[in-house]
Amino acid sequence: MARVDYDRMAADYLEGRVLPAAGMERWRDAIAPWLPAGAGGPVLDLGAGTGQFAAAIAGWFGVEVVAVEPSDGMRRAARAFAHPAVVWVGGGPSGCRCGTKPVDWPGCRPWSTISTTLDTAAAELRRVLRPGGPVLVRQAFPGRMGEINLYRRFFPAAGERLVAQGELPAVERVAAAFAAAGFRVEALQPVAQVSAPSLAAYRDKVRFRADTGLRLLPDDQFAAGLAALDRAVEAETTPRPVIDRLDLLVLRSSCVSWPAGPSAPG
């Protein structure tokens, strides 16, 4: 099974996946009810990538963000989104630990993109999350990708490969894994984001091939999709923003104390 080297992809990811500041405003509005400003402890961003959302959440809500990212390359690229309230930690789901201390501060509210480490992530988030706290998952889910331009209009095979390789688990799969760890689904809603101010700007981002699904495509299929995108750009007489809709899935832990473990950092 082909895998993507995120260390090598990091520079392209930084250029090809960045969202315009205005394009993120609806995400701020969508997560605001779940991450109220001044409500306590830090937010855990699991799978933080190059840190655009980690920095945005720190700025929007005035909270500390613990950004967990296993790729050294991604963490290096995150300098572009440096924020004094964002603390970076290497590792996957078990990297919710800072050195030998777990990040189990009361009030921790994970904001996460969940993929192939689903069961491990669910168990670890249950360990570090305060009782009754929510997990927010920003994700493209199989069967709900009809309003994502990349997969619907230009590279449908990329979305198919992501699903086939388990990179995009279905809502039901996520819900089952988190239910086993003591969570219930509270909400599922599409959120519109402005991915680029115009189709031409969108094409310039796509050329970086920064989407995981695009990296999994054979080169000839990527070239064919890019050619279709070029034709769409040429046919666009009045530039319009490219709007994609991804989902926000909210899960909440039961109001039962987590298993005993090392004490919280002081």
The verdict on residue 96 lying in a domain is yes
45 Cβ contact partners less than 8 Å away, ≥ 6 residues apart: 51, 53, 54, 57, 65, 66, 67, 68, 110, 111, 112
Q: Measure the CA–CA gap between 111 and 79, rounded to whole angstroms.
A: 20
Closest by Cα among 40, 51, 44 to 96: 44
**Three-state DSSP state, 194:** strand
138-193 pLDDT per residue, tens: 999 999 999 999 999 999 999 999 888 878 889 999 999 999 999 999 999 999 99
Q: What is the pLDDT of residue 256?
A: 52
The total domain count for the chain is 1
Residues 4-19 as b or e (16 or more Cβ within 10 Å = b)? bebeebbbbbbebbbb
Model pLDDT, residue 101: 38
Quote the CA–CA distance of 32 and 14 in Å, as a whole number. Answer: 25
User: pLDDT exceeding 90 applies to what percent of the chain?
Assistant: 52
Instruction: Work out the pLDDT band at 102, boundaries 50, 70, 90.
Output: very low
Give the CATH number for residue 71: 3.40.50.150
In a domain, 150, yes or no: no
Q: What mean pLDDT is reported for the chain?
A: 83
Is residue 16 assigned to a domain?
yes
Domain assignment present for 65? yes
205: amino acid identity, one letter: K
Query: Is 189 inside a domain boundary?
Result: yes
CB 112 within 8 A of CB 46: yes
Q: Is residue 157 part of a domain?
A: no
Domain that holds residue 123: 6-142+166-195+246-253
In a domain, 93, yes or no: yes
9: left (phi over 0), alpha (psi -120 to 50) or beta: alpha
**Per-residue confidence band for 260, with pLDDT thresholds at 50, 70 and 90:** very low
Once rounded to an integer, what is the mean pLDDT over residues 73-87? Answer: 91
Residue 200, domain member (yes or no): no
Cβ contact 161:141 at 8 Å? no
DSSP characters over 232-266: HHHH-SS---EEEEEEEEEEEE-SSPPPP-SPPP-
Tokens representing 223 are 């070239």
